[in-house]
Amino acid sequence: MELVRPGMEYLPSYRAALGRGWSADNVRKMVAVREELDAIEKDALAFVALLTDREAIGPPVTLPDGSRVPRLPGYRMWMWDGEFCGSIGFRWRPGTSDLPPHVLGHIGYAVVPWKQRRGYATRALALMLEHARDEGLEHVDLTTDEDNVPSQRVMLANGAVFVERFLKPPSQGGTPSLRFRIALA
């Protein structure tokens, strides 16, 4: 498994995963699937281009409660083993490792169900940490639901340390979550 920059050559496989009901958005799920399929249908080139937005020039981000917040610089990469396996995203604020309150973590990842338990998320996170180091961050924060033990294992396998239990803001569901941190320096 390798990480690839989203591109038109990979888009049919990505679209097929969306068509099977997979979404990298574990809160908005099918709403996010429909939005992405609609965006691909409307302008596939623009959809792919917006997945890399290092200058945060894209539209605001819609939170699970429907509110909209400014976009941070960031990009997504796709897990690829000959077909689409999952997505990993990285976002940051230039010049600091701190994030605004509405951004729960620097990195988020999701593997399609039919490719889980192969170590893909662990490998993808390790590869993405190299990109985060290139941005000069001291650390990255990652969050997960309390009951998402597989995600916790992925983080711990990449050197994460537990930071805190917290409640997500109401705009993001208000559910209990765990925050982990990985030092990059």
Q: What's the pLDDT tens digit per position in 98-124?
A: 999 889 999 999 999 999 999 999 999
Q: Could you tell me the CATH number of the domain that includes residue 123?
A: 3.40.630.30
| Structure tokens belonging to residue 109 | 């990842």
- How confident is the model at residue 155, as a pLDDT? 98
* Average of per-residue pLDDT values in the chain: 95
- How confident is the model at residue 45, as a pLDDT? 98
The structural domain count of the chain equals: 1
Residue 174: band (very low, low, confident or very high) from pLDDT cuts 50, 70, 90: confident
Mean pLDDT over 119-135 rounds to 96
- pLDDT of 79 > 80? The answer is yes
Is the four-CA dihedral 8, 9, 14, 16 of positive or negative sign?
A: positive
The continuous run of DSSP H or E covering 157 comes out as helix 149-157
**Which structural domain range is residue 145 located in?**
2-183
- Convert the pLDDT of each residue in 42-69 to its tens digit: 999 999 999 999 999 999 988 878 889 9
- pTM: predicted TM-score of the whole model, two decimal places: 0.94
